[in-house]
Every structure is written in C-alpha cells, then in structure tokens.
Amino acid sequence: MFRMDEAMRKLKILADSAKYDVSCSSSGTARSGQKGKLGSAAEAGICHSWAADGRCISLLKILFTNKCVYDCEYCVNRRSGGTEKASFEPRELAELTMEFYRRNYIEGLFLSSAVEVSPDHTAEKIHEALWILREEFGFLGYIHAKIIPGVSPELVNAIGLLADRLSVNVELPSDESLALLAPQKKPKGIYLPMKQITETMAEQKTLKGGGNKFSTVKYRGQDLSYLNPQGGQLDPVKLAGADPTAVRAAGGLPVMAREEAARYGELRTYKEKFAPAGQTTQMIVGATPETDRHILKMSEGLYKTFFMKRVYFSAYIPVVQSPKLPDVFTAPPLAREHRLYQADWLLRFYGFEADEIVDEKHENLDMEVDPKVSWALRNIRLFPMEINKASMEELLRIPGIGNVSAMRIVRHRKMAAVKFDDLKKMGVVVKRAKYFITCCGKYYGDIDPEPERVRPLLGDGMIIPQGVRIKDDRADVIRGKLSDHRDGVQLSMFSGGFGTDGTEGGNVHGLSV
C-alpha cells in the first residue's frame, strides 16, 4: 500500500473532486456472498454514514484521476483550472476499496474520473482497477462505474461485466448548453454508450426501467435513429412523445413490490452479468436557462428511451468564474433541485406524466408547495376523493398518500371500512391528505368547503347527499396551509429515508408522498 501522506493527499484531492456527484445510492442489485470472498450487495441500499452536509455516504465516491485534458466550463478539474492534480494506480484504488469495505465503512465503490490522456486510456485504467478488485481480491460489493463520453464499445462492455451499475452523464439539459459549456463532449459520445448499455441489457433480458412505472414498459428496440448525426435531432426531449407504444402505464400503475418483500429483500445468487443494476444519468441544473418543464420532459424521455434506473439532478454550485456561467455568488438552486426530485418521484412511482406536472402554462415547478399538492390544487375539481371508494390509481394522486399507505388502505378496506382515525396508523400524512379526501363521507379539512349539497330526488321526496365539493377559491386557502417553503424544510434530495432508491417508498425526498 502507498505511503500515509501520499495516500492522504490523493484521497483528499480525488474525493474532493468527486463530491459534487450526487448519484450516491447503492441499491438495485442483490447478490449473496461466496465462499472465500468478501462482500454481498443488498437490494435496498444501505447508508453507512452521513456527512456534515447531511448526505448519505454509501459508496466510496471518488475520481480515478482529476488530471483532465477537457475543458468543461463549470468544472474545477478542467485543463485550464488550477486545482491540484492526482491519479490513483489501479492497485492502490482496489486496496483502498477492499480495506474500507472490510471495516464496513462503505457499501462499495462509485468510481468516476476525469479524462486523462484520452477517454479510452482512462477507461482502461478503470477497468484494471475493477478487475483487480473483482478477480484478484474476490470483491463482491457494489460497484458503480461512470462511463466517460466517447469510450470505445469494447471497453464499455468490459467495464459493464465487472460493475453493477453504469452511468453516462448527460451533463446538461440540452445540446445547446452542452456545446456552450462542455464543447469537447458531443451528444453522440454520450448517447451511443447509453444506447449500447440499454441494448446489451435487453439482449441478456435484464432490462428494467426506473421506479414502478417505467419497469412495466417494454423494450421494443426504441427508435434511436435520431442518434444519427445527419438526423440532426439529438435531444431526447424531442423523442419523449415520439413512440406511443413505449409507455403502457395504464395497466401497470404503481403497485410497489410488497413492502415486506422489499424490506427483507431476498438475495439472489450472483451470476456474471452486464450491469445488473442498470444505468443512471445525471444533469446539472441551474447553470443554463432550461425550464423545469424542459428538464422533466427530458428525464421522462431518458426513462422511456434508455430505461434509466434514475435520472439525477445536481444543483449547480458555482465553483468557477466565467462569463458563460452564473456569478460565483449565486446560491446553488437547492430548493429547485429538491422540487425536481419530488417531481421525478411522481414520474417514477405515482403514474404522473411530465405534462401533468408542468404544463405550458406552468413551465416551472411551484416553489411554495410540492409538485403533488400543486397538481392537486390545479385539479381541485377532482377532489375530495372518498378513501373507501377511490381506486389504487386515484389514491396515489392524493397528497399525503404514498404507495405503502395506498396499498394498506386497499387491503384494509377489503376487511373493514377505513375510518379517519385509522389513516395516521397506515402511514398517511393526515395533515396534508385531509384537504383532499372524505372518509366515510365526511370531510375533515379545516377550510369550510361548500356545504354538503342535497337535492331532492325523484318525486317521492327522498334526499340523496351529493357529497362535499371544494369551491375553487378554497384552493388558495389550502395552498397557504400546505406551503412548505418557509418552514425550514430540509431542501435537499438527501432528506430521504434509508432506501434512497425508493424501496422504502415513504417520505423520501421530503415529498410527503
């Protein structure tokens, strides 16, 4: 192993440079241990510590090198930047990972890298490090490897056979922004490896999309002809709605894997497979002028097209002074990032389309209330819904009700009517839900909805209650009560529970589901 001071230096530089990368979750693969080997991977993802910024530390998140030949405008490691540089030797990195893992500091490795010499040169080193880990040291823990745009297909394949998860960053929400800020990265160099990863997984029949919405989508050789540079249109936003066969969400709306199964997630035996935990991607938000609508449509497109497990957003932190970028004193748009994650959650687990969350009239997410409440208020005429009658799909649209609580309601009411007092025990966030529901016909929100209207029916004078209706102007009152903008909510994507990948289904990302 390397010397103490040298090890400290490298670790500091290379962790420091990697820390802005947000996709930290370690979930998505289950693998049991093997005789004589070290490690296993748990389906639900495990946090090992929480850093001073409140983020979960699950993986050893680190760069292989920060010596970069590229010159991305927003990056501290760019060629023309003045940061101190360092690179690991493959063996050093493998040893470090083993020793950390053995002490249960980490769940595995998340290896990213700058471009030293060339994409292929760097990818070869990364491959060597992973090979030593897996083959020589018998490491069975989790590995997430980042694929640098422009890496040759052979290397993508070789790395994919060693890693659990791969990711190619889209970096910025549009081609124009990419050309402006990361001129050496070409859309094609990004989308081709993504496509290769998707296709390889489809071939080995392990392709499964993100959340419970996109996992029911079938791969039909999604039309990727737009990847042809002559075709011009490289923006997946344009593709999002292009293939109507792609999403057949209707039948397979969010029903979480049984909660117990998720919790006590059983271990499968490890077989060598290409990226068994699929692929993810990430983009920087707030460095360029794209709207939330643009970003969410793009995410939806990435889920549908490439079967991403997750699309991560990273609030731009101005570390570099440049005329092309927001001023260095600009606060990172953490609140916006938080809202985007909430919206992403609605896309993947709640059966929402991007168009419903942000429409042409509302191009950006509401900062005052979460996107689910925002949607409900815009559609207040659909509420209140009766807890004992609403379908699973409808229940999931109610603010304050999540996958787990919706399922509990459905199960419970098969045996007995659900009463208002039961809701809290079932995990419903009552203080939010109460505005949007009735329970056994009664409305509990403290907003004075329109009084129960009655209307005489048929000639015999029988009266049938028409139920509660919420007057349109009440929507603003509710909005005032549910605003979480000021009360110091943790504006961070990391404010979730354990299963950062949604296995807990609960109030991850502070979205009261």
Partner 1 sequence: MDYLYDGTYMGLLCCVYAHYYVEKATGIFREGEYQTSLFGKVYRVKTDEDKARRVYEAMEKKLGEFTLRRSYLAYLSNFPDKEMRLLRYLVFGFKQGRGFNNMHGHPDVFGVQEIEKRIYNERHRYLGILRFSVIKGNRDVLYASLEPDNDLLELLADHFLERYQAEPFIIHDVKREKAIFAAGGDWYIAPLAKDVTVQLAQGEEFYRALWKHYFESIAIKERTNPRCQRNFLPKKYWNHLTEMQV
Instruction: Check residue 314 for interaction with ligand SF4 (CB under 6 A).
Output: no
Can you give the three-state secondary structure of 272-309, one letter per residue?
CCCCCCCEEEEEEECCCCCCHHHHHHHHHHHHHHHCCC
Determine which residue in the list 41, 106, 111, 114 makes contact with ligand SF4, applying CB under 6 A.
114
Task: State in angstroms the smallest separation of the CB of 307 from ligand SF4.
Answer: 25
Determine which residue in the list 25, 26, 77, 438 makes contact with ligand SF4, applying CB under 6 A.
77
Q: Which does 37 bind (CB under 5 to 8 A by kind): partner 1, ligand SF4, none?
A: partner 1
- Nearest of 448, 412, 442, 446 to residue 431 by alpha carbon: 446
In angstroms, the Cα distances linking 170 to 173, 419, 456 are 7, 47, 61
The residues near 458 (Cβ < 8 Å, ≥ 6 apart) are: none
Q: Which does 253 bind (CB under 5 to 8 A by kind): ligand SF4, partner 1, none?
A: none
- The 54-73 site mask, x for binding ligand SF4 (CB under 6 A), equals --------------x-x-x-
Sheet with 437-439: list strands edge to edge: 385-386, 437-439, 442-443
Q: Which does 412 bind (CB under 5 to 8 A by kind): ligand SF4, partner 1, none?
A: partner 1
Determine which residue in the list 22, 75, 284, 468 makes contact with ligand SF4, applying CB under 6 A.
75
Which of the residues 254 through 313 are near ligand SF4 (CB under 6 A)? none
State the helix-helix crossing angle for 4-18 and 90-102, rounded to 10 degrees.
90
Query: Cis ω on the peptide bond leading into residue 384 (within 30° of 0)?
Result: yes
Alpha-carbon distance 178 to 354, whole Å? 23
Q: Which does 70 bind (CB under 5 to 8 A by kind): ligand SF4, partner 1, none?
A: ligand SF4
State the helix-helix crossing angle for 119-131 and 90-102, rounded to 10 degrees.
40
Q: Which does 61 bind (CB under 5 to 8 A by kind): partner 1, ligand SF4, none?
A: partner 1
Task: State in angstroms the smallest separation of the CB of 368 from partner 1.
Answer: 21
Task: State in angstroms the smallest separation of the CB of 349 from partner 1.
Answer: 20
The answer to whether 162 touches 191, Cβ cutoff 8 Å, is no
The answer to whether 45 touches 34, Cβ cutoff 8 Å, is no
Give the DSSP H or E segment for 70: none
Q: Which does 466 bind (CB under 5 to 8 A by kind): partner 1, ligand SF4, none?
A: none
For ligand SF4, give the closer residue by CB, 320 or 477: 320
Q: Which does 96 bind (CB under 5 to 8 A by kind): partner 1, ligand SF4, none?
A: partner 1
For ligand SF4, give the closer residue by CB, 145 or 468: 145
Handedness of CA 465, 471, 475, 478 (dihedral sign): negative
For partner 1, give the closer residue by CB, 14 or 130: 14
The footprint of ligand SF4 (CB under 6 A) covers 68, 70, 72, 75, 77-78, 114-115, 182
